[in-house]
Amino acid sequence: MELKYVQTTCPYCGTGCSFNLVVKDGKVVGTQPYTRSPVNEGRVCPKGTYAHEFVNSPDRLTKPLIKKDGKFVEATWDEAYDLIAQKFKSYKPDEFAALASARVSNEENYLLMKFTRGVMKSRHIDHCARLCHASTVAGLAASFGSGAMTNSILDIAESKCVFIIGSNTFEQHPLIGRKAMQAKLNGGKLIVFDPRYTPTAKQADLYASFYSGTDVAILNCLMGEIIRNGWEDKEWVSTRAKGYEELKAVVLKDDYLPENVSKISGIPAEQLKTAAEWIGTAESCALLYSMGITQHTVGVDNVKSTANLQMLTGNIGRRGGGVNALRGQNNVQGACDMGALPVVFTGYQKVTDPATHKKFADAWGFPDGICEPKNGYEVTVMMDVLTDNPGELKCMYIMGENPMLSDPDLNHVREAIGNLEFLVVQDIFLTETAEMADVVLPAACYAERGGTQTSTERRVQMWRKAQDPPGEAKEDWQIISELAAKMGYAKQFPYQDIEEIFNEIAAVTPSYHGMNYERLNKPEGLHWPCPTTEHPGTPILHIGKCSHPDGMGVMHAIEWKPPAEVPDEEYPYLFTTGRCIWHWHTGSMTRRSETLDAEVPTGWIEISPDDAKALGVQNKEMVRVTSRRGSIEVPAKVTPDIKNGVMFMPFHFVECAANILTHNALDPIAKIPEFKACAVKVEKI
């Protein structure tokens, strides 16, 4: 039988690597390099290499399931749609909430947003960007007028100095890590600040270990040193930025002198001075960050501080510079772009703006109108409302998300979801969240669909279908359209194919106006903003002017604040969470990949040798870890790669779920939880 090769985009991280899926007898059987992608040039990381292994897992959902007497029974699509339509119609608009997904296409996120605001007339739609980069969207929008990565992945390789803070790039975005290495091999400096001595840190010319939650103090210190030494870009600061004098007054305070920040952060003063010099004197400096910056109660402050540093040094709108926020899931940027957020329609057009609200109401043509022009609830707030104000939210529709493992304080999440009257989950596997549903709808996975995704660098690319979905599973856009039709809105969801949905998106979204499938159907795709069909796309933002109406960048004077929960006598260790190279988020795909699961079959907690000795714990022995919210048992990994007093766990593993321990204290603006810092105690079992 002849093999077929179908080029598509990786389903895991936001780098957006391409590869070929190898198809035999109509089934995906492997992956193969696709060398024409400018992003990864044929290379992939372990997750990409084995991205075919879960596709035909025997665990795939193949039929709709309806829960009867506490057990799922198989149903026809009509039975499932009839039940859902009847239940959905019984709720008032704002008793309904939806979670879209960073794992499905732009088109499908757009449709669920349209379904929520148009069919259900609800304000409440969000997705997992709330848990990873909501602070990026808010912080960078406040600084530059656009809440996205400013430069491109290829651009990183041209930098003369790469400063990575709060990102384990070599494990979590390996093909972006490769660009940082290319910059280093070209003579650039690599600086890594991270609480753990990660594989990324091991490549650095300068590595500094710090206590999680001290980022603003560190960044203020670097800026203070740069200004004291006259290394700031005076022209940029005087002609392109507002707020410099206020920023300067804060960062030059004695509190932010290297010797004082050293006491807060744990970074030796000399390392802070060296980093400031390298950043301040480099011809160009690319700042890369990920969730080490964003997942804090001061996440927006942290993001604004990275923007301050890059404006101060003139690294905005410059090749090899930029604030490069590395987005987590493959289409989390696209899900945000598509308005799967409670405050915006597509392209970050504000829900509360009367002209925008009218524009969407007119374009969609619902005879009975759309949701009110008011902001909705964020997913973290939805969970609080469900526990604290029972009866306000009653019904949820979750597409491709697994809050029962991904969200903070899982005991709280279980109570919240348990309080719903009716829950529909649409997914490819029976996830921990799907198990709690009243109806489960079987969806197609990435290998079984077309459509577009938008990677972390705002590059819009195509997915391509390599095989049919298993059993009766369907693509998400088909499910949403058919359900809308059952509810009386066939006219508003008339799509014959997914391309028609993209054309509708382009018509209502200025930053996507110039895109269409013909232009996107090439290896390099297009970076937004792409306002006209002649426009070449925009790999680097803010060249010459920022995206605020007056073209200026805004510097923010920010004081350091500690995390919401810090170690004390009862809970003496700082606890932080993250990921590993072999697994992906809640593990629903990678733990069903034989090769990846064999590499790392379960979780662990990293403990420093000194702390292990004090606790009487040997490597691989089981320990009990307890926070104010819950307790888990997990094997210890004794390693010098972590600071004394700090404990780290990956959050992929349900049998030792790190998020039972984490804290749902929220950033007041972005409502992102503080996954990166809480207090725990650890005991040998």
Q: At its nearest, how many Å lie between ligand SF4 and the CB of residue 475?
A: 21
Q: Work out whether 48 is an interface residue with ligand SF4 (CB under 6 A).
A: yes
Q: At its nearest, how many Å lie between ligand SF4 and the CB of residue 368?
A: 42
Q: What sign for the dihedral angle of Cα 81, 84, 89, 90?
A: positive
**Alpha-carbon distances of 271 from 15, 189, 477, rounded to whole Å:** 30, 14, 51
d(CA 637, CA 542): 44
* Of 148 and 398, CB closest to ligand SF4: 148
**Binds ligand SF4 by CB under 6 A, chosen from 173, 394, 527, 671:** 173
Subset of 295-334 contacting ligand SF4 (CB under 6 A): none
Q: At its nearest, how many Å lie between ligand SF4 and the CB of residue 457?
A: 12
Q: Work out whether 44 is an interface residue with ligand SF4 (CB under 6 A).
A: yes
**Alpha-carbon distances of 285 from 188, 189, 318, 333, rounded to whole Å:** 9, 9, 9, 23
* Of 175 and 666, CB closest to ligand SF4: 175
- Direct distance between the N- and C-terminal alpha carbons of the chain, in angstroms, rounded to an integer: 55
Q: Which stretch binds ligand SF4 (CB under 6 A): 7-15, 263-271, 418-426, 562-570?
A: 7-15
* Of 380 and 590, CB closest to ligand SF4: 590
**CA of residue 302 relative to chain centroid, distance:** 16
Q: Which stretch binds ligand SF4 (CB under 6 A): 52-60, 132-140, 154-162, 168-176?
A: 168-176
Q: Which stretch binds ligand SF4 (CB under 6 A): 12-20, 87-95, 139-147, 487-495?
A: 12-20
379 Cβ contact list (under 8 Å, min separation 6): 99, 126, 127, 128, 130, 131, 403, 407
**Binds ligand SF4 by CB under 6 A, chosen from 6, 7, 13, 201:** 13
* Of 41 and 372, CB closest to ligand SF4: 41
Q: Which stretch binds ligand SF4 (CB under 6 A): 10-18, 403-411, 470-478, 542-550?
A: 10-18
* Of 169 and 297, CB closest to ligand SF4: 169
Q: At its nearest, how many Å lie between ligand SF4 and the CB of residue 476?
A: 20
Q: What is the DSSP letter of 491?
A: G
**Binds ligand SF4 by CB under 6 A, chosen from 7, 8, 12, 146:** 12
Q: Work out whether 585 is an interface residue with ligand SF4 (CB under 6 A).
A: no
Kindly give the interhelix angle for 215-228 and 299-312, rounded to the nearest 10 degrees: 20
* Of 176 and 546, CB closest to ligand SF4: 176
Residue nearest to ligand SF4 (CB): 48
439-442, strands of its sheet edge to edge:
71-74, 65-68, 439-442, 422-427, 395-399, 96-99, 124-126
- Residue listed under structure tokens 């022209």: 235
617 Cβ contact list (under 8 Å, min separation 6): 607, 623, 636, 638, 682, 684
Kindly give the interhelix angle for 258-265 and 215-228, rounded to the nearest 10 degrees: 160
* Of 13 and 501, CB closest to ligand SF4: 13
Q: Work out whether 174 is an interface residue with ligand SF4 (CB under 6 A).
A: yes
Which segments of 511-608 does DSSP mark as H helices, in order? 517-520, 594-599
Q: At its nearest, how many Å lie between ligand SF4 and the CB of residue 122?
A: 33
Please state whether 384 falls in left (phi above 0), alpha (psi between -120 and 50) or beta: alpha
Upstream peptide bond of 93 is cis (omega within 30 degrees of 0): no
Q: Work out whether 45 is an interface residue with ligand SF4 (CB under 6 A).
A: yes
Q: At its nearest, how many Å lie between ligand SF4 and the CB of residue 630?
A: 30
Q: 237 with 553: CB under 8 angstroms? A: no
Q: Which stretch binds ligand SF4 (CB under 6 A): 65-73, 167-175, 422-430, 526-534?
A: 167-175
239 Cβ contact list (under 8 Å, min separation 6): none
Q: At its nearest, how many Å lie between ligand SF4 and the CB of residue 111?
A: 24
Q: How many CA atoms lie within 13 A of 283 on its CB side?
A: 8
Q: Work out whether 47 is an interface residue with ligand SF4 (CB under 6 A).
A: yes
* Of 83 and 581, CB closest to ligand SF4: 581
**Binds ligand SF4 by CB under 6 A, chosen from 66, 84, 156, 175:** 175
**Binds ligand SF4 by CB under 6 A, chosen from 17, 332, 381, 623:** 17
Strand ranges in 488-642 using DSSP code E only, listed in sequence order: 526-527, 553-554, 573-578, 605-607, 622-627, 630-638
Q: What size, in residues, is the chain?
A: 685
Residues that bind ligand SF4 (CB under 6 A): 10, 12-13, 15-17, 40, 44-45, 47-48, 173-175
